Amino acid sequence: MDYVLFSPAYPFIAAAVLSALLMGYVLMVGAGRILRFHIMAVGLAGLVWSTYYAVVPAASGGLSAPGFLVELMPLLAWYGLLERLLRGPYLQSMPELVRRGIRWVWLVVLVVGMAALLPMTGISGIAAMPDFYYLGILLL
């Protein structure tokens, strides 16, 4: 019988436990009501991301569409938290230039996410979809 000392799923299980602890802490502590929703979103996205990669084995063919969308979730959660922090407590503190830049980031995230939902195997025979998924992650 072979025993595995270190499984590739262990870091993802540890990340899931840490995300669950973060969410539990935010729910238990009464302070920080302004950022509670956004921190919970970061914790939930981290929990979904780590659970997905702990359960689904890594494919040798590259990043799949569901894997790409799971990768997109923590990015969206962190961008939401960053935007809320930049807007300040009264939602008025963000300079207009920063507001426009963040809107462009949200637009790119939306377009890349919609492109991942399209049922394609490649783009005009140029390259396979996993290459475009990796490019989308690097772009964001």
36-56 pLDDT per residue, tens: 888 999 999 999 999 988 888
pLDDT at 95 over 90: no
The reported pTM is 0.72
> Which pLDDT value is given to residue 42?
93
- pLDDT above 70 as % of the chain: 72
Residue 9 has pLDDT above 60, yes or no: yes
**Measured distance between the N- and C-terminal CA atoms of the chain, rounded to whole angstroms:** 44
The conformation of residue 62, written as its DSSP 8-state character, comes to -
Instruction: Judge whether 42 and 76 are in contact, CB under 8 Å.
Output: no
- Considering the chain, what is the average pLDDT of its residues? 77
Query: How many whole angstroms separate alpha carbon 75 and alpha carbon 46?
Result: 10
Asked if the model's pLDDT at residue 2 lies above 90, the reply is: no
136 close to 112: Cβ distance less than 8 angstroms: yes
Indicate the pLDDT class of residue 133, thresholds 50, 70 and 90: low
What is the predicted pLDDT for the residue at 129?
62
* Calpha distance 59→66 (Å, rounded): 12
Task: Report which secondary-structure segment, H or E, holds 117.
Answer: helix 96-117
**In the structure, what pLDDT confidence band is assigned to residue 86 with cuts at 50, 70 and 90?**
confident
Beta bridge partners of 122: 128
Cα–Cα distance for residue pair 70/49, rounded to 1 Å: 6
